Chain A
């Protein structure tokens, strides 16, 4: 028997890894992948709670999260391509036009 808290711990760990990657990574594609990791951690929480409360709506929400993630990945990667075309870099430290 696997307790709910184990699933929540794994989910929290994945989310934390996503946050750390978002903070320490300088490559914009890797930063995007960290965001996907965070979304996956949240999805695991959704499914675990759906199994815990016998509420199937939690699984339906996972689909909505996936759709939003797909839309975000498509638009975000297109923006990355546009940024790379104008600035010739993937390093977020060099994309600092708005910095004081």
Chain B
């Protein structure tokens, strides 16, 4: 068993444990913290795949910015333990076996096709220079479109989250 495989299994175990913990916890703050653990472990997987810049962005943007937003909203709304209702129990009874069947089918399809080599740890192909070359040259138009998208999202968030009776932008 190679060192690479051991690292993969370690990070993968953290991912699986975090994802299962997200489902079993009843309080949203526990789910959020386990999701942060999943994202940190996924950054390790990205490093194993040679995507160093993606790993850094995963930690900074996903585990940092987006999850802080989630935790902040949980704190702001004082979210408590969720209650069990009839609808959710039906989803539990029908959804979990359905997903298990789908997962087994997917695993069977994936495991029929295998055989790739791992990236050596010191030879990382996803350097920031190459990424930037692609992002700002080949994907320039999508890049600009996403910048417009995120600008619209920021304005929409400000409009939606402001008090209904006060016009957005005015400070009372």
The interface of chain A, by Cβ under 8 A from chain B, is 1-10, 12-14, 16-21, 23-27, 29-30, 32-34, 36-37, 40, 43-44, 47-48, 50-52, 54, 56-57, 59-60, 62-64, 66-75, 77-82, 84-85, 90-91, 93
Contacts and interface: CB of A to CB of B under 8 A. Distances in A.
Top 3 A-B residue pairs of the complex, sorted by shortest distance between their CB atoms: A71-B153, A78-B160, A4-B116
Given A64-B146, A69-B66, A77-B70, A13 B157 contact: no
B95 A23 contact: yes
A13 B6 CA distance: 19
B146 A33 contact: no
Contacts of B19: 13-14, 17-18, 37
Interface residues of B, number: 85
24 contacts: A2-B8, A12-B106, A12-B110, A13-B15, A16-B106, A17-B23, A29-B74, A33-B32, A36-B66, A36-B70, A40-B38, A40-B42, A44-B42, A60-B135, A60-B138, A63-B135, A70-B65, A74-B69, A74-B154, A74-B156, A74-B157, A78-B161, A90-B77, A93-B88
Interface in B142-162: 142, 146, 149-150, 152-154, 156-161
Interface of B: 2, 4-5, 8, 12, 15-16, 19-20, 22-23, 28, 31-32, 35, 38-39, 42, 45-46, 48-51, 53-54, 57-58, 61-62, 65-66, 69-70, 73-74, 76-77, 79, 82-85, 87-88, 91-92, 95-96, 99, 102-103, 106-107, 110-111, 113-119, 125-126, 130-131, 134-135, 138-139, 142, 146, 149-150, 152-154, 156-161, 164
A48 B19 CA distance: 19
